Structure 1
Amino acid sequence: MPDYASRPWLALYGDRPVFQRSTYDTALEMFDATVAARGGDIALRYFDGTATWTQLDHAADSLAAYLQVRGFRPGDRLAICTQNNPALIIGLVAAWKAGGCAALISPMSTAEEFAHLVGSYRPSALLALGDIYRDVARPALTDIADTWPVPIVVTASPFDGQRTDDPRVLGDPARHRPADTVDLYTLTATHTRPSIRRAIGPGDIAVLLSTSGTTGFPKGAAITHANLTFNTQTYRNWTGLGADEPILALAPIFHVTGLVAAVALSMHLGSPLVLTHRIQPMVVADAIRAHRPAFAVAAITAYIGLADESDLTADDLRCLRLRYSGGAPIDPDTAARLEDVLGGYIHNIYGQTECTSPSHIVPPGLRAPVDAETGVLSVGIPVCNTMVRVVDDNGDEVPAGEIGELVTSGPQVISQYWDNPAATAAALAGGELHTGDVGFMDAQGWFYVVDRSTDVINASGYKVWPREVERVLLSHPLVRDAAVVAIPDDYRGQNVKAFVVVDDAQDAAGSAPLTEAGLIEFCRARLAAYKYPREVEVVRALPRTATGKLLRRQLRA
C-alpha cells in the first residue's frame, strides 16, 4: 500500500518549497498593494484600449460607492454576467470594496439557468452586458420578481474602453444601454463619491462560482479570500512569472481557471492582463502579436483553435513561454501535435472549481508522463500544502497504480457550497473534497485522471472507461471529436454508444467514406469485446461547457 502521507511527489518539486504561506490575507489587500506599488502601470489591455491600476481602482471605487448608496450591505452579493471584459474586474473589486462578494454567472446561461442561479445566490445587485440583460437577464428577473427581486442593475458594453470595435467578436457596433439600468461607463466616469471600506477577512466569501454542471444544475462553490489568495500564490510560485510579463486571458474569466490564473494572478503580480471579449482564434492571434503575453492557461480546445483556425506561427508564439491547459483532459497525441504546430510544450494543470483551480500541476521544465496501460496523460503532481489520496468505494486507500476516486485536501479547497448543506456534506465531508474523478497515482507520485465516476459504463459486470474508447475513436484519421456514454441493454445491463464528429474529407488513401458501421468495426479490432461501441452516431458537434468539459448528460438525454 502506498503511504500517501509521505507525499512521494515531493521528489519532483526541485527547489520549490514544500509549504507556502499566502502573502495577503484577502484578495482586496492583494489588489490594494499592487495599486500602491504600480498604480501608473498598465493593468488591462483590451484591444487598443488600456487601463492603469489606479484607473481600475477609481472605477471600482465609483461602482462600490454607488452600490452602497443604493443599499448594498456587507455580505451582499453582486451578480456579474459578462464575457472577458474589463467590467468583470471592475465589478469584482467593487464587490470587495463594499464588503460583499461577487457571484459570477456564465454569459452563456439560458434564461432558465440564469433564474436558477439568481434564485440560489439571491444577489442585491446585477452587473451585466447590455445585450445579455436585454435577452436573458431581464426576462429571467421578471419571472422571479415575486420571489427574489434585484433592485440594482448596472449594464456595460463590450465596446467600452477600446476603439477597435472588432466585428469578429464584438459584432454590431451598437452599444446596448437599456433605459431601466445604470450605465457602468457613465457611472465610473462621473461618480466621484468614494466608497466606504467595509472590513473583510480571509474567511469571508470572495467569489461564488458555479461548478461545471456536467451532471445537472451547477452548485455554487463558496470561494473564500483565503482560498483565492493561496492559489494565486501557487500560480506565482510554480510558474516563476515576472511582474512585467503580460498574462493572456485564454480561458473565460467567469470560470475558476481564468479567474485565478489570469485575473487574480495579474492583481498579485501587477502584470498586464490581455482581454479579448471572446476566445476567437484570429482575434487571440492578433492580441498575442500585439501584446506578447508570456503566460496563459486554457482548455485544450483553445489551443486546438489556435493551431487549426489561426495564422499563428511557432515564431509568433515564442513570447508565450508558459503554456498550461486545464478544464478538460488532453489526449497525448493531441498534445504532441500541438507542440509541433505551436512550437511549445503545453503543461497540464488540474483542479476543480472546489479547489480554486490548481490542486495538481506539471512543473515547468518537466513533461507529463503517459501511462502505458490506459494511454492517459498525467495531470501533474499535487501543489504545496496539498494532500491527495486515491480511495475505493469504502473510502480505503488503494495501492499505487490502482484506480479509485481522487480525494483532495488543502488550503485551496472550499469548505461549503452556497446554501446547499446536503451537497456540502456529500462532497466535503471531513474537510476533504471527494472529487468524483476516477484515477490513480503511480509510484513516483504522478497522478492520472481516467474518468468521472458517474460516467463509468457497466457492461455485463465489466467496467468500461469512456476515455479509453474515445482514445481509440480519436486515433481514426477522419474522427475529429468523440464522446462515449452508456445506453441501456436488457441482457448486458449497459452498452457503449459513441457520438463522433468526422471530417468531410477522404483520408489520404482515398478509401470509401467513413460509416457508422465502419467505426464500430474499427473499434472492435482494437478493444475487448465488452468495450467496443454497439452504436455510433455521427453529429456535427459535441456539447461542451465554456471551459471545454464534455456534457455527457446531454448526450445521454
Structure 2
Amino acid sequence: MRPGRKVTPLTFDSLVQAWHARTDANPQQVALRYFDGAMTAAEVDRASDALAVALWETGTVRGDRVGLYLQNVPHYALALLALWKLGAVPLLLNPMYKHTELRALIDDSGAVGIICADTDVAETSNTVANGTVRWLISTCARDFQTENDPRAFPEKPAKQETDAVASAVADMVTLIRLHDGQAPDPITLTRSDLALLSYTSGTTGPPKGAMNTHGNVLEVATTFGAWAGLAPNDVVLAVAPLFHITGAVINCAISLITDTTLVFTGRFHPEIVLEAFPRHGVTYTIGSITVFNALLELPHAGTGHFASVKTLYSGGAPIPPVTVERFRDRLGAYIHNAYGMTETTSGVIAVPSGTVAPVHEPSGTLSIGRLLPQMTARTLDAAGSPTLPGEQGELELSGPQVIPGYWNNAAATAETMPGGSLRTGDVAIIDDLGWVYLVDRLKDQINVSGFKVWPREVEDALYAHPCVHEAAVIGEADAYRGETVVAFVSLKAGTHATETDLVTFAKDRLAAYKYPRSIHIIDDLPKTETGKIRRAELRGKGHS
C-alpha cells in the first residue's frame, strides 16, 4: 500500500494519485477487457510502470508531449498511465489524419514521440521526419487477446521503406516485457499540470490545442461518473473514439480511476460492439448518435443485447426525440443526452441517469440535460448581456472543467475564454428548472426573408419520417429570400421515399418559411471521425 492520506475523488491531486488509490483498494479487479483478454488493475499498473521506464529511457521527461495515434485498444490505457506517471502529456491524435493534417499537430505541439499501430509505422515515420519526433513505438491490434476476430484485426503489414525515424521504432509489448518489474521514480503532480493536449476539430478555423489539466479531467470524470450512476464493478464500454476528448475522459479516464472494468473492441464495428454488450455485461457507455443509429439498423439487434445496461449516453450532437423513442421502443434502453466540448474536457451538461429528458414544447427540442456540479452557465445576447430564463442566447460556461487556455495561442484563448469563461458558440435556452436546450450553432443560423431558421429544428422534423436515417440542413443563397432552406438526407436500408415525399412531410410540420424548398437524397452524409455531421461540406452541393 502506498503511503498517504485517505482521499475522496475530488481531493486527488492528479490522475496518477487517483489511479493508485483505485489499484491499492482492489488490485485484483479486472481493469481492462479486450475480446477474450483481461488484465487486473495490478497487471495494468505493472505494465504501465514498465512502459514508463521504457519511455524515460527514450529521453521522455516531464512536460514532453507524446502522440497517441491509435484506435480503441488496450495500449491506449497503458500509454496514458505511463505518460502520466512520468508527468508527460499525451497528445490525442486522430488516426484518420494523414500527412499534412498529422504533421501540423505534431509541429504545433512539439511532440517528441508517437505511439502508433504497426500498420501505420512507415507512413507515420515519413510524415514526421525532420521534425521534433525522435522516436516511434509500434503496437499490434492483436496484442492482449487470442481470438483474432477477422472482422477486427488486419493482417500484419509488409515491411516498407521508412525515413530515419524508423530506426527508433520499438514494439510496446516487447518494451513492457524488457522492463517488467521496474517502475519510474515517483513525481509530484498538481491539478494544474497538463494531463492531455487535445486539438479542436477545426470547424471554425485551424485546430487549437486544448490544455486539459489533471484537475480538469478529475473534475469531469468524477462529476460525470456520479451523474451517470457509475458504481464499483460496473463495466464501461469504450465506444467513443479515445482520440476524442469524450472517449479519453468519460469512457477511458472515468473507468481507470473508478473500480470498474473498461472494455475495448478496437475501431468501431457495429456487429462487434453489439456483441460486446451481453458478452461483457456492459452497464455504461457514451457514443455519438451515429453509433446508436448503426446499432439500431442491425436487423438482429434486440432487447437481450442491452439487458445489462444501466445508462447509455450520447454526446457530440444533440439527439432528435424520435431517435431516442425508436431506440427505446425496439431495444429497450433509453439514450441520455450529454453535452461538452474539448474546452470543457468533455461532458458538463447531461441528463441524470434514470431520468427522461423533457422536450422544449415551442421548438420540439430534446433537452441536453442539466449542469453537472461545479459548472455554471448563462446565455448571452448579441451584445454580450445575459438573457432571461427561457430566452435563447449564446451559451457561456464557467467552472473547474473549463481549460486554462489553448496551447501557445494567447489570442484564441482571450477571444474564446474572456475572463476564464467559455463562449461556446452554441445557442441555447435554459429554463426555470435548469434544463438546457441546445438550439444550434451560431454560425449555422439561416436567415429566410428576415426570419431566423435553426437547422436543428428542421432536421428533427425530418427525422420523424419513417424512412429517414440521417438528415442535415443548411442555408443556401437565394436572390428572393436572402437564404433558402436546403436539406440532405440518407434513407434507412430497405426503405423508399422521394424528395417530393420528404418536402411534403416537412411542409406539414413546419412554418412556411422553415420547411426545406429542396431535399437531396444521398447515400451517406459527410461526418467527422467522431460522428458529427459536417454541414459545411454540403454547402453548394445542392447545385452540383
TM range (shorter): over 0.9
Whether the 8 Å CA contact 1:285–1:310 is kept in 2: the answer is no
Secondary structure, counterpart of 1:168 in structure 2 = coil
Tell me the equivalent position of 2:50.
62
CA distance in 2, matches of 1:160, 1:176: 19
**Candidates 332, 355, 358, aligned match of 2:321:** 332
Does structure 1 retain, via aligned residues, the 8 Å contact 2:235–2:262? Answer: yes
In the alignment, the residues of structure 1 paired with residue 275 and residue 329 of structure 2 have an alpha-carbon distance, to the nearest angstrom, of 21
- TM-score when normalising by structure 1: 0.90
| 1:257-279 deviations in Å (ceiling 9; x for gaps) | 22222211212212111100022
Call closer, same or farther: CA 1:312–1:423 in 2, change over 3 Å. same
1:126 aligns with 114
Looking at structure 1, the residues matched to 274 and 537 of structure 2 have their Cα atoms a distance apart, in angstroms, of: 32
Give the C-alpha shift of residue 66 in structure 1.
2.1
> Which residue in the other structure is 1:267 paired with?
256
Structure 2: how far apart are the matches of 1:327 and 1:393? Answer: 25
Q: Distance in 2 between matches of 1:310 and 1:501?
A: 18
1:97-116 correspondence runs (5 A):
97-116=85-104
Cα distance, 1:112 vs structure 2:
2.2
1:323 aligns to 2:306 (yes or no): no
- Report SS of the residue matched to 2:513: coil
Q: When the two structures are aligned, how many residues end up with a matched partner?
A: 527
Which stretch has the larger CA shift, 51-60 or 448-457? 51-60
Letter in 1 for 2:149: D
Q: Once the 2 structures are TM-superposed, how far is the Cα of residue 485 of structure 1 from its aligned partner? A: 1.2
The alpha carbon displacement at 1:518 in A equals 4.2
C-alpha distance after superposition, 1:104-140 (max 9, x if no partner): 11112232211111111111111111113334x2332
Where do residues 512-551 of structure 1 align in structure 2 (5 Å cutoff)?
514-551=497-534
Structure 1 range deviating more: 232-241 or 374-383: 232-241
Q: What corresponds to 1:23 in structure 2?
A: 11
Matches for 1:450-461 after TM superposition, within 5 Å: 450-461=439-450
User: Cα distance 1:52–1:505, how it changes in 2: closer, same or farther (>3 A)?
Assistant: closer
Alignment pair present for 1:384 and 2:359: no
Distance in 2 between residues matched to 1:355 and 1:183, nearest whole Å: 34
Q: What's the secondary structure of 1:364's corresponding residue?
A: coil
Match in the other structure for 1:138: 125
Unaligned segments of structure 2, at least 5 residues: 1-7
2:220 is equivalent to residue 237 of structure 1: no
2:80 pairs with one of 92, 107, 126: 92
Query: Retained in 2: the 8 A contact 1:159–1:173?
Result: no
Moved more, 283-292 or 303-312: 303-312
- Structure 1 residues 504 and 155, CA, compared in 2 at 3 Å: closer, same or farther? closer
Structure 1 residues 301, 506: CA separation in 2 closer, same or farther (over 3 Å shift)?
closer
Distance 2:53 2:156 in 1: 30
Distance 1:475 1:67 in 2: 52
* CA distance in structure 2 between the partners assigned to 1:405 and 1:176 by the alignment: 52
CA 1:111–1:174: 2 relative to 1, 3 Å? closer
- Equivalent-residue separation in structure 1 for 2:148 and 2:20 (angstroms): 31
1:238 Cα deviation after fit:
1.9
Contact 1:159–1:175 (8 Å) recurs in 2: no
After superposition, give the CA deviation of every residue in 1:444-465 in whole Å (9 maximum; x if it has no partner). 2111001111111122222110
1:254 lines up with 2:239 in the alignment: no
Q: Helix, strand or coil: the match of 2:365?
A: coil
TM-score, with length taken from structure 2: 0.92
1:6-47, CA deviations, whole angstroms, 9 ceiling, x for partnerless residues? xxxxxxxxxxxxxx9713111111112122222222110001
Asked whether the equivalents of residues 157 and 175 of structure 1 are also in contact (C-alpha less than 8 Å), the reply is no
After superposition, the Cα gap between the structure-2 partners of 1:504 and 1:27, relative to the gap in structure 1 and judged at 3 Å, is closer
Contact 2:83 2:89 in 1 (8 A): yes
- The aligned residue for residue 27 of structure 2 is 39
Asked if the contact 2:278/2:304 (under 8 Å) is kept, the reply is no
The whole-number CA distance in structure 2 between the counterparts of 1:437 and 1:309 is 33
Any idea what SS the aligned residue of 1:359 has? strand
Q: Which amino acid aligns with 1:40?
A: Q
The answer on 1:477 being equivalent to 2:460 is: no
Question: Higher relative CO (CA 8 A, sep ≥ 6), structure 1 or 2?
Answer: 1
Instruction: Indicate how the Cα distance of structure 1 residues 191 and 442 shifts in structure 2: closer, same or farther if over 3 A, else same.
Output: same
Q: Secondary structure at the match of 2:146?
A: coil
On the 8 A contact 1:45/1:274 being kept in 2, the answer is: yes
One-letter identity of the residue aligned with 2:14: T
Return the alpha-carbon distance in structure 2 between the equivalents of residues 282 and 482 of structure 1: 23
State the alpha-carbon separation in 2 of the partners of residues 386 and 392 from structure 1. Answer: 20
Q: Is 1:301–2:284 an aligned residue pair?
A: no
Gaps of 5+ in 1: 1-19, 508-513
2:31/2:262 contact within 8 Å kept: yes
Residues 341-365 of structure 1, C-alpha deviations (whole Å, 9 max, x = no match): 1112221121112111221121123
In structure 2, what residue type is equivalent to 1:153?
L
What amino acid sits opposite 2:126 in the alignment?
P
Verify the 8 A CA contact 2:275 2:305 in the aligned structure 1.
Answer: no
